[in-house]
Amino acid sequence: MLLKVKDLSLSLKKNGKYATILDHISFQVEKGETVGIVGESGCGKSMTALSLMRLLPEKARLDGEINLMDENIAKYSKRKLEKIRGNQVSMIFQDPLTSLNPLQTVGTQIEESLILHRNMTKEERRTRVLKLLKDVGLPRAEELVNEYPHQLSGGMRQRVMIAIAMACEPQLLICDEPTTALDVTIQAQILELMGEIKRRTQMGIIMITHDMGVVAEVCDRVIVMYAGKIVEQGPVRELFQNPTHPYTIGLLDSIPKLGQRKQKLGSIPGTVPAPGNMPAGCRFAERCRHTMDICRTTVPPMFDIKDGHQSACWLFDEKGGDQDGVVRSDELETALHH
């Protein structure tokens, strides 16, 4: 097991009091596996990524376990964390325009990880930087090392970010909306590159996105988050074909599909509850079409649907479903054929 996150909770101090951002998040990433985390803005997916890297504001309170290769890094000291960041775990950020230092050359910025984590001579580092640039598909690497971020296009900059992340061949790569700020054609190229890297290395990848297309393209498994909690997770194909949580259904319903003439795209009524003002029961209860009494009072646990497919919805409580995997309640039946 590459990464095992257990009961991860995060609170941030805002206006003098702590607000819960993440609430008992648990998931796993295997070696060579790509796990997508989806959800709308503010659901805590980026905060999950930053928590894994422990790149949190000073006043953040983090509980639970982050087991990276059986080492709980949630309690690591600053010094020990620095040894892991950029070395065993790397991160790619959303905006390649602002994520690179404008005053340093591309070469210097890629080289930095090697200086920090590898005992290499200057020559060895240079060779490695050139190879990294070629690996991420950038042309004329020899000139590129001496150029500054502003001289590159958005797609090239994101490739540089990937090169930086790959410098020390990490076991885990966290991508926070790596294609959101890019043109659609460039998006496809970057995703292709990520897929290629995934095939070549045995790296585990966490892909944070709000784009279901990206998930379908590159992920093996997907985690759906809502208001700081995981509401559903499972293998991509299974989850897309057989979504169970009303939120996931709503999310998938809101994507336009080619070839389907539909008058109106689905939308989910209402808004996400604010951190610090979470309801007692299920956080989606207020917006859900199938709300039952128990939803408002008790937080739903994860119910097993099928191998590895889990859903945090009371509709799948044993009492309401049958045993052989295709757990359906009458309520959901109507929801799915709506």
Partner 1 sequence: MHALQFVAKRLLLMIPILIGISILTFAISNTIPGDPARLILGPKATPEGLEALREDMGLNDPLYVQYGRYMGGIAQGDLGQSTYSQRPVLNDLLRYSPATFELTMFAMVVTLVVGIPFGIISASRKDKLADQFTRIFALLGVAMPAFWLGLLLLLFFYLKLGVLPGSGRLDGGMAPPDYITGMYTVDALLTGNWPVLYAAIMHLILPGLTLAAVTIGMITRMTRSSMLSVLKSDYIRTAYAKGAPENRVLYGHALRNGVMPVITLLGMAFGHALGGSVLVEAVFSWPGLGQYAVNAINYLDFPAVMGVTLLIAVIFILVNLIVDTLYFFIDPRLKHN
Q: Contact positions toward partner 1, by CB under 8 A? A: 53, 55, 78-79, 81-87, 90-91, 93, 95, 98-104, 112-113, 116-117, 148, 150-151, 161, 164
**Would you say 58 or 307 has its CB closer to partner 1?**
58
**Would you say 116 or 278 has its CB closer to partner 1?**
116
Which long-range CB contacts under 8 A does 304-307 form with residues at least 24 apart? 305/234, 305/242, 305/244, 306/234, 306/238, 306/242, 307/235
Least separation in angstroms between residue 61's CB and partner 1 is 18
Structure tokens, 182: 């890019």
Whether 234 and 221 have beta carbons less than 8 Å apart is answered as: yes
Nearest by Cα to 35 from 68, 70, 3:
3
**Would you say 5 or 161 has its CB closer to partner 1?**
161
**Would you say 53 or 145 has its CB closer to partner 1?**
53
Q: From the CA atom positions of the chain, what is the Rg in Å? A: 21
Parallel, antiparallel or unpaired: strands 34-38 and 221-226: parallel
Quick one: DSSP state of residue 20? E
Least separation in angstroms between residue 211's CB and partner 1 is 20
Least separation in angstroms between residue 93's CB and partner 1 is 6
Least separation in angstroms between residue 103's CB and partner 1 is 5
Task: Report CA 293 to chain centroid distance, whole Å.
Answer: 32
13, β-bridge pairs = 18
Least separation in angstroms between residue 13's CB and partner 1 is 13
**Would you say 100 or 207 has its CB closer to partner 1?**
100
